[in-house]
Each structure stands twice: as structure tokens, then as C-alpha cells.
Chain A
Amino acid sequence: MNDTLSVDIEKIKSIAKEYFLDFDEKKDGAFFLEEFNIFLHQLHFFLNDKNIDNYKPANFPFKIFFPCAYLRDDIVEDIENDILKNTKNKVANQIKIPKVI
């Protein structure tokens, strides 16, 4: 039930951090907590509906398959000359990033 799905600000912060997201706890902490609790509230009917478990998960909206006849041939194409055009931080045509831990 809903009770097992509660969160506190610590949990929200740790989930965010794992996803390389940070936020100002003082400024937005209450916002995230409140919004999160609304979502959990909205889940009520979804969580309690037993009939859902009779179905298999749908990955696509309808039956779709890809015939092997259409598989891409092993050809090199569309190599971009200015692939690093949008990168300001580069050295010797490589992306330069701060040191990786």
C-alpha cells in the first residue's frame, strides 16, 4: 500500500545524487517533497488494482517486429567532419574533461 512508498528529503536527495542531479535543499526541498507526495497519492488506485497483475508488460503500443531481411548492411556512412563543433573544451581533436575519479 501507499505507506510502504513514502519518501523523505534524504531519500529524494540520494536518488537525485545518483542521477547526477543536485538541488538547493533550502530553496526547493519542500517543493520536491510536496510534489513527490502528490505522486504517491495519485498512485493509490494503481497500486491497489489487483487485475493489473494478470497482464504481461507492454514494451510497445502494438505488435511490432523487425524482419531480419531489413537489417542494416555493414557499410560506413555519415561520418561527420565537424563532430566536435559544439564542444568548447577540446584538445587535439579529443574532448577534454576534468579528471575522472
Chain B
Amino acid sequence: MNYKPTIGLEIHVAMNTKSKVFSTGAVSLSRAPNSLDNVYDLAFPGVLPVLNKQVVINAIQVCYALNMTIDKELHFDRKNYFYSDLPKGYQITQHVRPIGINGFLNISLKNVIEKVEIERLQIEEDTAKQIHFKNFTLVDYNRSGVPLIEIVTKPCIHSVEVAVKFIETIHEIITFLEISNGKMEEGQLRCDVNISLSGEDKKLGNKVEIKNINSFSYIKDALEFEIKRQESLLSNGSSIDQETRRYDEKNKVTKIMRKKNNEIDYKYFSECNIPPIILTDNFINDAIKSSKELASVKRYRYINSYNLTEYDANLLLSKKEISDFFESCVKLTNYYKDLANWININVLSYINKNKISFNELKLAPNALVSLINDIKNNNISRNLGYELFSYMIENGSSLLEAKTALHIFKQETNEEIIKKLVLETLNGNMKVVNDYLKGKQNAVYFLVGKTIQKNDKINPKITLKIMLEEIKKIKKNN
């Protein structure tokens, strides 16, 4: 029997604003424990929440990118429960009126476009960080109160591919909007998945929640495992228990965390320390207008204005830092295709080989552009270009500095010397010369390349000029 999976996603995104959502404590990953705290973050008696404007702006930008209806009034609620990482004993969230509702994303896979409907997007606060030891737990409140947005899809995803692509798209959106660093390993993007299977009777089975999956590859593995697990249980006639599971990456299985017997009663009620916040049309429009450009918009431009292939565009857009770098270069040159190749092939392989992040790259955009321009203008050969590139990317130098360091500054422009080499090449490659005379135009570049191999300091432009002159002579003589 074929079982159809129905998947719903709950994604939490931690924002990278300077201060927290309801307090003026600082948002930062790598700082000493409890060094970023404001009195609100430890929930001392008498503290009050004060909403951060930038959080609202960021949330509006994401809502817009997700095609959501934006509520013009902001309302907050309290979700009440006790846990050691929740200092107030409640979390301020948006239960009744989330800032965004009824959105969607079109996920394209091969030749199919799947519309994933998004139910809600709400603003809320993060909990403290805990480190559990055998007999005690340490709590660090730096993370307590960090702004979160929670994005909840409708249970309308029916394949693992779409689910993974959806999460990747969310990652793309939040990083290109620059509202989050989106690092799953650091908990800045967290994914909880709900899956249930339905058989031929189309009745939806019990749903299983898988929590705290903290990498893209694990999401695919976890989902595939869980679907198989549920399928085999159903085929054996067993039923699926409604439960919460977690993914064990070592053993590549999902494991039970707790049964969802008693739903926790969070006793939601309205947060009375925050009056309804009125968002004017101007505020909302300004927030949307000030959005950083989305990857989807860039993709369109790269393909249609710069004539790049979809493959090239996607590589450039795989990380915001890469596309930022590309766009810095684009300001300085029109050689889009060459630029894309140099970045996608040469720069990226350097980064991968040396295991550094793009932000650690020492190569400056104008340096790369000047190199490409030089090659395109035939001032230097391609091989020379590779040599210079290696030096420049390793040392963060300009083209001029690289040329000086590699003693390439002085190009050989002496026509007598070049002519001698050209004649050598012609003598050893008469077949190619004949090809050229018969009409194979490109053959001349082969000959120029052969000549440069003899001395890579010779000026390619001049070499070509002399090559054509000499071939003309040969033709005349024939």
C-alpha cells in the first residue's frame, strides 16, 4: 500500500539585531556567559517588556517575502509554563494575532512548482541557554530574550524534497534579508517537523513531531527515516502513537522523547504590559522598501540581465557572501560570465580547499576585476592570470602588487623577439596554418597560445598581431 506523507513545518529564526526583542540586553553569540544581560533578561520583579522597532521591521520584511498578510496592529500574549530556561515563568509570544498570516512560497523542483502555504509568522522571545551535567545544570541568560520569529506552515507538504527545499528557501530569505545569520549549528535556524501518513482511505494518521533537527542534511535523513518507520508500522497493522521524537544523528534514527498524552495547558492570555501597537502604512511600506534584495530577485537579474546560466546563478546565490562579492565586482566590470566563472570555480575551490569562510577571503573585488580585465584585453595570458590569481588570493594583494612580486610587471613587447618565436611556432605547425587559411578562424589562437608557451611574458596582443602578419606573408607566398 502506498502511504502519502503529510508534513508541517515549524521554523524558528533567531534575529541578529543589536538588542533583544523586549529588552535592551545585547544579542551576540560569542560572549562570556551572563555578560549581555539586562535586568529584564533575569526577570527581576518589576521589569517590563519594551518592544524593539528593528524586530518589527525585520518581521515585516520576512512577511512580505513570504507573501503574507501583515496585521496592522501588534498584539502579544503570554504562554505560561515552568522551565529552568524560562526566567519569567512565561514567554511573550503572539498566539492570537501573529504579525503575518496566510502566506505562501512557490518551491520549484525540476519541472514542478509546489505551493507551500504558510499559516502564520509570529514574533516571540528565546529562552536561556543551559548546559546539563550529571548532577547539575548551568544556565546562561545571554540568549534569553533574543528575538525569534516562528514560521508555521500548513500541513500541506507531501514530499521530503519539498520540505527540505522549503527550509533552504527560508534560510535563503533570512540571510539575504540580513535579518539572521541562519546558522543551524548555532541554533539560529531551528526546525521542528510534524509528519503523519495517510493510506488509501485518505485518513490522516496520528502526527509525530520531530524536534531540534540542527542541520539541513539531518532534516532529509530524519524525515526519510521517520516515513519508513511509520510505513513499516502501518504495514504490520500497528498504529502510530502521537509522540515527540528527536533525531539521533549518530545512529541515523529518530528516537522517542515523550508521548504526547496530555497536552500542556499554557493558559494563554493577553500581555497587558504592551498596548496594541499601531503600524501605519508608512511604517510598513518603509520597512518593505528598506529590505535588502531577495535571492529570487537577484537570480532573475543574474539570468536575464547578466545572461548567466541558472547553474551559475545558483552557485553565486548559494551564500549571501558570495553574491555580495559578485555584486561588488559587477559594479566594476561587464564581463559577467567570466566573473561568475572565476568566482564559482577559482575562488570557491580555493575557499573549499583551505576550509575558510567566504568572509575570511583576502581577495578584494577590484583586484579580481582588474585581473579579469587584463586577461580579456589580452594584456596577459590566461596562464599568467592563474599565477597572479593564486598570489593575489593568498596574500590579499592588488594586481599591481602581484605582478611586481612575481616579476611579471615587465611584459615582453619587443617585436623582434616575439617575431622570432612566432616564426618558430609557424614552422612547427604548418597543418594548423593551412587550417586557418582554409577558413578555420580560431586556429590562430591555438598558434598564439603555442607561442606564449615558449615565453609566457610576451604580450598576447602583439603576438597575435605579428602572427596574423606572418600568416598573411605565408598566404602571399603561396
Contacts and interface: CB of A to CB of B under 8 A. Distances in A.
Asked if A and B touch directly (CB within 8 angstroms), the answer is: yes
Contact of A74 (B19, B131, B277): B19
B56 interface: yes
Nearest to B280: A68
B139 A78 contact: no
Majority secondary structure, A binding face: loop
A50 to B, nearest CB: 24
A80 B203 CA distance: 55
A30 B140 CA distance: 42
Listed from nearest, the 4 A-B pairs whose CB atoms lie closest are A71-B53, A74-B54, A77-B24, A94-B138
Interface in B32-59: 32-39, 42, 50-56
A76 B25 contact: yes
A27 interface: no
B130 interface: yes
Contacts of A66: 274-278
B139 A94 contact: yes
A55 interface: no
Contacts of B25: 76, 79
B85 to A, nearest CB: 9
Contacts of B36: 79
B272 A84 contact: no
B21 to A, nearest CB: 10
Interface string A79-98: 11001100000011111111
B38 A77 contact: yes
Majority secondary structure, B binding face: loop
Interface in B132-153: 132-141
Contact of B39 (A80, A96, A100): A80
B136 A84 contact: no
A88 to B, nearest CB: 14
A68 B275 CA distance: 11
A64 B53 CA distance: 19
B24 A76 contact: yes
B19 A71 contact: no
Given A72-B51, A74-B52, A78-B39, A99 B137 contact: yes
B318 interface: no
A89 B134 CA distance: 17
Interface of B: 17-19, 24-26, 32-39, 42, 50-56, 73, 82-84, 130-141, 270, 272, 274-280, 283
B132 A71 contact: no
B32 A96 contact: no
A95 to B, nearest CB: 4
A91 B131 CA distance: 12
Given A65-B275, A68-B280, A92-B33, A75 B24 contact: yes
Given A66-B276, A97-B136, 8 more contacts: A65-B73, A65-B276, A71-B51, A71-B52, A71-B56, A73-B54, A74-B54, A94-B34
B277 A65 contact: yes
B26 A79 contact: yes
B18 A72 contact: no
A74 B275 contact: no
11 contacts: A71-B277, A72-B50, A74-B17, A75-B24, A76-B18, A80-B39, A94-B139, A97-B136, A97-B139, A99-B136, A100-B130
Contact of A97 (B26, B84, B275): B84
Categorize the interface residue count of chain A: 20 to 34
Nearest to B40: A78
Contacts of A100: 83-84, 130, 132, 137
A99 to B, nearest CB: 5
A39 interface: no
Given A91-B138, A99-B134, A100-B132, A68 B279 contact: yes
Nearest to B140: A94
A52 to B, nearest CB: 18
Contacts of A80: 37-39
Contacts of A92: 33, 138
Nearest to B44: A86
B34 A78 contact: no
A60 interface: yes
B191 to A, nearest CB: 23
A59 interface: yes
A83 B144 CA distance: 14
Contact of A78 (B24, B54, B134, B279): B24
A64 B272 CA distance: 11
Contacts of B84: 97, 100
Contacts of B270: 59
A71 to B, nearest CB: 4
Contact of B53 (A60, A73, A78, A95): A73
A95 B51 CA distance: 26
